[in-house]
Structure 1
Amino acid sequence: MATDDDAVGPASRVRETIETLEGLAHVGYHRLSRVNYEHRGIARRNRTPAGSFRCYEPLNRHGSDAMLAELDATCGPSAVVYDVGANVGVYALGLVAAAPNRRVVAFEPSPAAADRLRANVALNDLEDRIDARTWGIGDEDGTRPFYRSTNPELSAFDRESARRYGASVADVRSVPVRRIDSVAASGASATSVTSDAADAGDGTRLPPPDAVKIDVEGAAPAVLRGAKETFESHRPTVFVEVHEALGEHVPRETRGVLSDVGYAIDERTGYWRCEPVASDG
């Protein structure tokens, strides 16, 4: 007699097989990307809903990305955007490509991804509008082990996140981590820099954000906890990429932190748009 376990087992194995094949495809893609970046080979046009730019990615990235489209439509022409988990810079580049007065601070802790981010920024001569920072963003200032995955899209501060979809941990490095509250200026008139001077502890501050995009696998709650003062003072619009494969505990914790800082969640497919709740006063 067949049992529920008999029915669920094959379906589960099929899903695991599909995820493994998808993971292997990603690994192959990123190997091709690595060669192209190392040799500064083909620089192709990448078209996104926000804007187009040149980059070293072999394929068009985020060409129909709904979160990027809404983020672009939400930001003003002179907005400051914090791109937390910038990867190779597709969001950052798309957001400034057609908005010459907009500025992005792009945070990317993976050394390999940060090198690619800077290569793409330099390719488009946008160093004056994209401030690339090789930091992780969290709820404590210091350093943390960062797990680089064989699928770079999965590299994270969490070992298990780096091993999803058949990927494995390629290496572990200690990277700097900053709270948004530690690096964001308290005043909107603060000047910014385009170096890692703040990492040296010299008191340099970045301009406060008008919008924050967060795509950090399972680390969103820590990012939000470390931005409490900034969110309460400046009330930026927040976009959070939702990673359902990480389980329910991450979205649940993320909801709790957003509620604590007075934000309401408007759920979209695959991401949340979060806005400050109006004060009764």
Structure 2
Amino acid sequence: MRLPRILTYRGSMFVYLVLKVLSGVITSIMPGDHIVIPTIHGFKLVLPKRGYASGARPLTIMFGVVEPQWRRYFTTLIGKARVFVDVGAASDIYYTLLATRLNKDVIVLALEPSPTEYKYSVHNVKINKVTDRVLCLNMGLSDHIEETIMEGRRVMFVRLDDLVSKLNLESVDIIKVDVEGAGALVIKGAEKAIEKHKPIIFFEVHNKSEEDTIKELAKRGYKVIREPGEMYVLVPVNTHR
């Protein structure tokens, strides 16, 4: 069921501000440097206050309205997936945990380059008891192999094609790309996987290079579904999905 635009925090500034204020209250009354958030999906999350206290994210996570533009597509399509690649999983690792709740057989590859965000993502996978189905990696995806320094630590950026080969993944069914503008590089590094497995791609666009990537995927046989807020769902045509 599609949520009315006025009820989404992206569709209504009033709703966003209400959620932001309430989220601020929640984070302020919880002691320590982190917050604990239960969700309507049955999993709970431990998140750092820094980066979450100033926005509406805690309540959107709690009530399952994270990126509501994607919600109905993801909840429908994840049920048939065998392998889901969550690129930019973040501290809350929301889509990874949601996938494990909606599909008891799915295997998730969750990638997060930020060491701090990665630490929380690993913890959230452990407390929700899905370590047997989720592989968390403290690395990012790009179109080449590169080592960079993030938060004082060395972090590797690799190609998804190389990971698929190294891990002997028999399929790649869904990819979520939300990497703050670096999505074009992620897709370039996944060309073989995309050509072979024809995954469904959830793509949040931030800049022109990512817009151009959407156009290229359309030329390669993808149906492009554009939702408000530059949120895209790309579905391969001429498949049995």
Q: CA RMSD in A?
A: 2.9
Deviations 1:185-207 (A, max 9, x none): 4xxxxxxxxxxxxxxxxx44344
Maintained 8 Å contact 2:78/2:103: no
- Superposed displacement of residue 78, structure 1: 4.9
- What TM-score do the two structures reach when normalised by structure 2? 0.72
- Determine if the alignment matches structure 1 residue 121 to structure 2 residue 148: no
Give the aligned partner of residue 233 of structure 1: 196
- Superposed displacement of residue 208, structure 1: 2.9
- Superposed displacement of residue 43, structure 1: 3.8
Give the aligned partner of residue 179 of structure 1: 159
Identity of aligned residues (%): 26
Give the aligned partner of residue 60 of structure 1: 59
C-alpha separation in 2, matches of 1:267 and 1:204: 32
1:96-175 matches, within 5 Å, as 96-146=100-150, 171=151, 173-175=153-155
C-alpha separation in 2, matches of 1:72 and 1:133: 24
- Determine if the alignment matches structure 1 residue 263 to structure 2 residue 222: yes
Instruction: Give unmatched runs, 5+ long, in structure 1.
Output: 1-21, 37-41, 147-170, 186-202
Maintained 8 Å contact 1:231/1:261: no
Give the aligned partner of residue 16 of structure 1: none
Residue 213 to residue 118, structure 1, CA distance change in 2 (3 Å) = same
Which structure's CA Rg is the greater one?
1
Deviations 1:236-280 (A, max 9, x none): 11010133xxxx52343322442454323110123101122449x
Instruction: Give unmatched runs, 5+ long, in structure 2.
Output: 1-19, 50-57
SS, match of residue 103 in structure 2: coil
Residue 207 to residue 136, structure 1, CA distance change in 2 (3 Å) = farther
Give the length in aligned residue pairs.
201
C-alpha separation in 1, matches of 2:196 and 2:174: 13
Q: Which runs of 4+ in 1 moved over 3 A?
A: 171-174, 203-207, 259-262
Maintained 8 Å contact 1:224/1:257: no
- What TM-score do the two structures reach when normalised by structure 1? 0.63
C-alpha separation in 2, matches of 1:33 and 1:227: 42
C-alpha separation in 1, matches of 2:169 and 2:117: 22
Residue 207 to residue 54, structure 1, CA distance change in 2 (3 Å) = farther
Give the aligned partner of residue 90 of structure 1: 94
- Superposed displacement of residue 46, structure 1: 1.8
Give the aligned partner of residue 272 of structure 1: 232
